[in-house]
Structure 1
Amino acid sequence: MLNPVVSAGELTETDRFIFESWGYFVIPDVLSAEEVKQCLEASERVHRAAGTEGFGQVGRGYETEPALEQLMDHPAVLPKIRGLYGDRFIMQSGWNTKQPAFGGMGGWHQDGSGAYDFKKLSFPQIPLVQLRASFLLTDQTQPRMGNMELIPGSHRSQVTMPEALRKEKGDVSIGHVICAPAGSVLVFHNAVWHRTYAHDGDYDRYTMHYIYSPPWVRASDRLQNSKAFLEQTTPLRRALMGEFHRPDAPFGSGYEVPPFEG
């Protein structure tokens, strides 16, 4: 099966070409089996505490679960984000999603804001405002395991998806079901049309999503940062949370670069 697979670490020119052409790529073997186990157990605790029933998405799990926090600036993934954005961006949100056992197809959509349609920012193509890194925490090596399904190159389409196709719950001829083992990471552009694929397993599927955005984008999983979390986390993670020094205009020339090398 054709897959846009790239190696961990620095964004290469080939990686960039794949991303611009497809709108996404997959980094395999980012997490070890033990790391996956720790993140999966953390995800279960996060959803248990939130009282999730059925499909659920819970933010801010990184504040209480060290295993999830460590994914925020993972060395296999963050250089890709930095390569696509440059040095100035934030972690807009961190969502942990649960698809329950025997879950059905999700609906086709693009990522964005319900309060302000990203299509208003640019026409006819939607700009990169949210860059998502999805850590797969359960095996998805075959279809119908709660995979993500995307339409390659749809982030460059100059027309929206037809309503009839959006309502389609069956297979779509141009859909690409991502098949990858637990511990892999899917990185994709907010404008790529995608949906959650069906899940036939008798276990819950978990994915940890980190969404990175330009520094002027408002956080979507929190109204403000937790002071307790900021005190105990690293300088780089504080900067990624948006806690950086602004000596003049909010995003003027004095805006400090996050301490990537620290």
Structure 2
Amino acid sequence: MMQPIVKPGEFTALDQFIFDSWGYFVIPNVLNPDEVVECLAASQRLHEGKPKKVSYQVGNGYATEPSLERLIDHPAALPKVRGLYGSDNVILQSGWCTVQPAHSPHGGWHQDGSSAFDFKLLGHPIPLLQLRVSYILTDQSQPGMGNMEMIPGSHRSRYEMPLSARKGEEDCPIRHIVCAPAGSALVFHNAVWHRSHEHLLDYDRYIMHYIYSPPWARYSDRFENDKVFMEQTTPVRRAMLGEFEKPDSTYAGGYKTPLYEK
């Protein structure tokens, strides 16, 4: 099965070509087995006592779980984020931990965006405003494991997916089931049509999603940053969570670029 695989770390011209063509790529072996165990346990704690339904999500978990905090600026993925935006001026708009229960059906086809204002109204192609880095925390190396399903290149389509396909009345023959082991990261454009694949196995599926946006975007998983957490995290993570110097609230006077570690 063809997979858009890229190497971790440095953002390359081939990375750019793959992403521009498909709208997403996969970085394998981002987390080692111990890190997968830690992040999975953290995700399970976040969902403890919460509803178990397809792609139910809990936000802001990085503020209470150190293993998830470390993923904010992971060296395998952050260069890809900065490279795809062509700028260091990005923030973590939100972080969502999702669960898909054992023996559950697929989710619904959709594009990411804002219910307050549909991104497709901004122009064509739909601009990159939410770049998602999704860390796979349970094995998805074969279909039927709660994989992400994507429509390659759909971030550039002038046409919406037909309602009949979105409702499941007919299948979409160009769908791609992303197969990757735990510890891999899937990076994708907000305009790519996607959904969660069916999960046929006996354990719950977990993915930790980090959404990176321009610095003027409003947070979508929190109203404000936790002050205690911000005092103890790193300067880079504070900047990525939106705590940076600017001369005014409108950005009219300029913007001081956060000092990311190169």
| Structure 1 CA distance for aligned equivalents of residues 128 and 83 of structure 2 | 13
| Structure 2 CA distance for aligned equivalents of residues 117 and 215 of structure 1 | 19
Deviation at 1:247, TM superposition (A): 1.6
Contact residue 104 and residue 199 of structure 1 kept, 8 A: yes
Determine the structure 1 residue equivalent to 2:90.
89
Q: Deviations over 1:25-78 (max 9, x none)?
A: 0000000000000000000001115x2333320001101100001001000000
Determine the structure 2 residue equivalent to 1:139.
139
Mean Cα displacement is larger for which, 201-210 or 161-170?
161-170
Determine the structure 2 residue equivalent to 1:42.
42
Determine the structure 2 residue equivalent to 1:242.
242
Structure 2, unmatched stretches of 5+, are none
Letter of the structure 2 residue corresponding to residue 214 of structure 1: P
Structure 1 residues 37 and 120: alpha-carbon distance in aligned structure 2, compared to 1, 3 A threshold: same
Deviation at 1:120, TM superposition (A): 1.4
Task: Could you list the structure 1 runs, at least 4 aligned residues long, displaced by more than 6 angstroms after superposition.
Answer: none
Determine the structure 2 residue equivalent to 1:78.
78
Identity %: 62
Deviation at 1:97, TM superposition (A): 0.2
**TM-score, with structure 1 as normaliser:** 0.96
Determine the structure 1 residue equivalent to 2:255.
255
**3-state SS, counterpart of residue 48 of structure 2:** helix
Contact residue 165 and residue 171 of structure 2 kept, 8 A: no
Give the paired residue count: 260
Deviation at 1:250, TM superposition (A): 3.1
Contact residue 40 and residue 137 of structure 2 kept, 8 A: yes
Deviation at 1:80, TM superposition (A): 0.2
**3-state SS, counterpart of residue 119 of structure 1:** helix
Determine the structure 1 residue equivalent to 2:112.
111
Determine the structure 1 residue equivalent to 2:149.
149
Contact residue 245 and residue 255 of structure 1 kept, 8 A: yes
Contact residue 90 and residue 214 of structure 1 kept, 8 A: yes
Structure 1 residues 11 and 259: alpha-carbon distance in aligned structure 2, compared to 1, 3 A threshold: same
| Structure 2 CA distance for aligned equivalents of residues 236 and 52 of structure 1 | 34
Letter of the structure 1 residue corresponding to residue 108 of structure 2: G
Contact residue 145 and residue 198 of structure 1 kept, 8 A: yes
**3-state SS, counterpart of residue 91 of structure 1:** strand
**3-state SS, counterpart of residue 4 of structure 1:** coil
Structure 1 residues 169 and 231: alpha-carbon distance in aligned structure 2, compared to 1, 3 A threshold: farther
Deviation at 1:127, TM superposition (A): 0.6
Contact residue 109 and residue 195 of structure 1 kept, 8 A: yes
Letter of the structure 1 residue corresponding to residue 172 of structure 2: V
| Structure 1 CA distance for aligned equivalents of residues 261 and 9 of structure 2 | 14
**3-state SS, counterpart of residue 41 of structure 1:** helix
Report 1:1-262 matches (<5 A).
1-48=1-48, 51-55=50-54, 56-85=56-85, 86-122=87-123, 124-168=124-168, 171-248=171-248, 250-252=250-252, 254-261=254-261
- Alpha-carbon RMSD across the aligned residues, in angstroms, is 1.3
Contact residue 46 and residue 61 of structure 2 kept, 8 A: yes
| Structure 2 CA distance for aligned equivalents of residues 248 and 225 of structure 1 | 19
| Structure 2 CA distance for aligned equivalents of residues 208 and 223 of structure 1 | 20
Letter of the structure 1 residue corresponding to residue 120 of structure 2: K
Letter of the structure 2 residue corresponding to residue 150 of structure 1: M
Contact residue 105 and residue 169 of structure 1 kept, 8 A: no
Structure 1, unmatched stretches of 5+, are none
Q: Deviations over 1:200-257 (max 9, x none)?
A: 0110000000000011110100011111110111101110111110124632453111
Deviation at 1:258, TM superposition (A): 1.4
